[in-house]
Structure 1
Amino acid sequence: MAEPVENLLEALARIKSEETGTRTFARYKWQAKQAVRHWLTCLKSDRAPIAIICEKLEDLAIVYHDFVRFAQLKTRDRGSWSANATCDKGHGIDSLIRAYKGARDVGVHENSAFELWLEGPMSDLKETVSFFENPTTAPSALRTKMVALGLPRNLLDDFLSRLIIHVKQPSRAHIDAVILREMAALWPGQSIPELEDVYTRLLEVASAAQAGEPALGAVRRLVAACVASPGELTVPDDLSVQYLSKSQIAFMTPPLGGETDQDLLDRMSAGEITSMLELKMRRAGVSPSVLKQAQDLRAQAEISRQLLLASRSDVDGQFAQLDTRILTVARAIADKANLNSATNPVAAARPADYISTELLSNPGILGQLDKSDLFEGDGLELYGYLCHLSDACRFPWRAA
């Protein structure tokens, strides 16, 4: 039966890393970017990891509920990788052997995989192709080298059955573009500058985790927020700086299109300093200018609404009627955006922008709904009032 991840993390906290040697700054940054790349996979719904741990026993540990993937990352300036080279000291297999032995000492190796990620191509030698595709085919010469690296001979077959080799990892020159492309698939409504801004923030935290030092306290605050969230793990003290959790990345990134209103409420309860209006519009791919306009008009309408409530005691029924009217129109426009999404890229990727443009390009549509003159038929204030209703979880800025 698989061990719960809490036990795996407790075991990890007891393992001492034996990483030696000096890495170049470029390789260091490449590893941090790989950490971001796999941290993003925590946001996916199917069999997603729950955390990435940097520089604890291995370059990266990708933690699932009942499984850990230990990854050793290696760069190469020129040429291709051969099976023989990966078994040289300092080229990856030696570190994975140490990781395997450490995991075995604390009883988590059966819930683990040991992976070598290689920048660049592999050699076309038959021995290399066979070994990289299926490490259990390692010939006697490679097995002898692994024993020389410290792997007990009686554990060779077990280690090789858990070894996975990934070649052609994104190069140092192209990994930024690869990550931004993958982010664009997660948030199709976000522009490249918006995605670059998110990526920069994620990379700062991942780099601090890679170094094992907090960045201006941000890492520790995020971990504290993660620990406070229901259902999250309690992070061992000596992993807290190096721990990149699902809660952290959700806290730092725009809402995904598939997030529910309850997911957005959970973000707020976890300490996200924003409004439901902003979260819903960001989930619906809002552009910064449209969001700022919505926030300004919402604030303006709220002043009028509060003054009206303070001066009159008979408006509850009138507000209820206005709510029904304005939400009916707004939902119809949201449905229109959904129907047009096949032919209209903005409607598909940025429904919040589409709905806002439809309403603000003809504010008289909203003005006519104000039969009781609560906002004196001012279409812009009525748009702001719709934003108030969205803040109260009554309009999602996309089709229901």
Structure 2
Amino acid sequence: MTDAKQQQPIPGLDVLTRVAAVESDPTGLDTFARYRWQAKQVVRQWLTCLREQDRPLFLACEHVEDLTLIYADKVRFIQLKTRDKGSWSVAAMNDRGLDALARSYVAARKKRVHELCTFELWFEGATAGKADTEDFVRDPRSAGDEVRKKLVAHKIPRGWVDDFLQRLVIEPDQPTQAHIDAKAMWELHALWPSLSHPEVKVLYERLLTAAEAAQTAREEQPPSIQAILSAALPHLGSDLPEPHEPAGQAIAPIRDQILSRGMLLRMTPPQPGASQQQLLARISAGTSVSLMELKMTAAGASRPLIAKMQEMRADMEVERQLMLASRDSAEDDLEKLARRILRMAEATAADVELAAVTNPAAAGRPAEAIANALLSQPAHLAHCDRQNIFDRDEFFVFGYLGHLSDTCRFGWRAS
């Protein structure tokens, strides 16, 4: 894989020129840092342009809207919010996120495109855990009087509030600022499993550079993105329109803020196949994919194997929590078990790697080979549980390996 600086210029996205301009301006650097977490989320959503069905035609990065996903038949306005401390209550959402979405909704409704739109609030961290917050996140239409009054204060006419709430989507528990890089790189590794870690890092940095350049493309606000999309949507094709096309003329004010599928294809290696579509669908929806699942996918695990591991891990987790609540030495005993099962798993992974020299199937799907080797030796798995944490149940022990994988201690291939 070649270095990012050797890539050919990408039509419509003069990334290096714009990044250089930002880096030469200290004020620009402040803005650059402010939107860094959002840019990483943009990269993750940009990947969903690779989906076979229901994929965005392109993304628009915008200072007020944060992120807009444009499809052939719908538009998704997404507010991306971080939080340094505490959890998210309904009041916090009203103060940071819903206000901007309310403006987006009013602008879309005035341009008569609101029926094609969703208005989504994605935030880092957890909700407050209170009943009114949990109900609101699950179904925004359940909003009480205080929320509705706030929305009216945010300039949504009272008669439009129910329609806005029907189109509102809330996605909590987005990857934290501390962990989003690891999450994004594992997603890239799952999509391109043949890439080495350094190659994945170069690819991630290249895509992040493009996303950050798109975010900082304009110093002044363009005309209403809702007005632009209202003019462009009837003319959109399968990708970013050319400047001479009707839709191309309509989106001219935001062209430098756009990331398209064509750009992505020119910046990334060919995909190994269509097996990653479920992962892309989940990234698109903003729902969480565990690190264990990403690692197993990157290592060639089949969906049935991942489902089996998830089931065994869930069964193990019940036992683990009960044991943590009732046993004084629980954490020490679990760590001893962790060291034993990791030694066994790592030795098995090394054997699989050696065998891969003469076994191409194992080379391409090490997770399958490692899991099969471990599960074919139930007595060895059971023997790892010397403290009888799980009553020497080999399936609980194997499920515990899934837990260790999710905490970045095992990657389902030789290290």
TM range (shorter): 0.5 to 0.7
Which residue in the other structure is 1:238 paired with? 253
Q: Letter of the aligned partner of 1:104 in structure 2? A: R
**Structure 2 residue 169 is the aligned partner of structure 1 residue 150:** no
Which residue in the other structure is 2:362 paired with? 343
Distance, in Å, in 1 between the alignment partners of 2:362 and 2:132 is 51
Distance, in Å, in 2 between the alignment partners of 1:103 and 1:41 is 24
* 1:285-341 Cα shifts (integer Å, max 9, x gaps): xxxxxxxxxxxxxxxxxxxxxxxxxxxxxxxxxxxxxxxxxxxxxxxxxxxx9x944
Distance, in Å, in 1 between the alignment partners of 2:73 and 2:269 is 28
Do the aligned partners of residues 233 and 342 (structure 1) sit closer, same or farther apart at CA in structure 2, a change above 3 Å counting? farther
Which residue in the other structure is 1:250 paired with? 265
Matches within 5 A, 1:91-130: 91-130=96-135
Structure showing greater Rg: 1
Corresponding residue SS for 2:248:
coil
Distance, in Å, in 1 between the alignment partners of 2:246 and 2:267 is 17
Matches within 5 A, 1:151-230: 151-213=156-218, 227=241
Do the aligned partners of residues 152 and 226 (structure 1) sit closer, same or farther apart at CA in structure 2, a change above 3 Å counting? closer
Matches within 5 A, 1:55-134: 55=62, 58-88=65-95, 91-134=96-139
Which residue in the other structure is 1:269 paired with? none
* Larger RCO of the pair (alpha carbons < 8 Å, separation 6+): 2
Distance, in Å, in 1 between the alignment partners of 2:33 and 2:178 is 10
Which residue in the other structure is 2:3 paired with? none
Q: Letter of the aligned partner of 2:94 in structure 1? A: C
Corresponding residue SS for 1:343:
helix
Q: Letter of the aligned partner of 2:170 in structure 1? A: I
Q: Letter of the aligned partner of 1:54 in structure 2? A: C
Which residue in the other structure is 1:14 paired with? none
Counterpart of 1:35 (choices 25, 32, 42) is: 42
Q: How many residue pairs were aligned?
A: 238
Do the aligned partners of residues 204 and 105 (structure 1) sit closer, same or farther apart at CA in structure 2, a change above 3 Å counting? same
Do the aligned partners of residues 66 and 23 (structure 1) sit closer, same or farther apart at CA in structure 2, a change above 3 Å counting? farther
Which residue in the other structure is 1:287 paired with? none
Identity %: 46
Answer whether contact 1:226 1:248 (CA < 8 A) is retained.
no
Deviation (angstroms), 1:76: 0.2
Corresponding residue SS for 2:159:
helix
Q: Letter of the aligned partner of 1:234 in structure 2? A: G
Corresponding residue SS for 1:104:
helix
Structure 2 spans left out of the alignment, 5+ residues? 1-28, 220-238, 275-355, 369-415
Q: Letter of the aligned partner of 2:248 in structure 1? A: T
Which residue in the other structure is 2:394 paired with? none
Structure-2-length-normalised TM-score? 0.53
Deviation (angstroms), 1:252: 0.5
Distance, in Å, in 2 between the alignment partners of 1:152 and 1:131 is 20
Cα RMSD over matched residues? 3.1
**Structure 2 residue 68 is the aligned partner of structure 1 residue 54:** no
Distance, in Å, in 2 between the alignment partners of 1:114 and 1:122 is 19
Answer whether contact 1:72 1:96 (CA < 8 A) is retained.
yes
Distance, in Å, in 1 between the alignment partners of 2:202 and 2:32 is 22
Distance, in Å, in 1 between the alignment partners of 2:91 and 2:367 is 50
Do the aligned partners of residues 252 and 193 (structure 1) sit closer, same or farther apart at CA in structure 2, a change above 3 Å counting? same
Answer whether contact 1:27 1:75 (CA < 8 A) is retained.
no
Do the aligned partners of residues 348 and 148 (structure 1) sit closer, same or farther apart at CA in structure 2, a change above 3 Å counting? closer
Distance, in Å, in 2 between the alignment partners of 1:65 and 1:344 is 39
Answer whether contact 1:341 1:347 (CA < 8 A) is retained.
no
Do the aligned partners of residues 85 and 346 (structure 1) sit closer, same or farther apart at CA in structure 2, a change above 3 Å counting? closer
Corresponding residue SS for 1:33:
helix
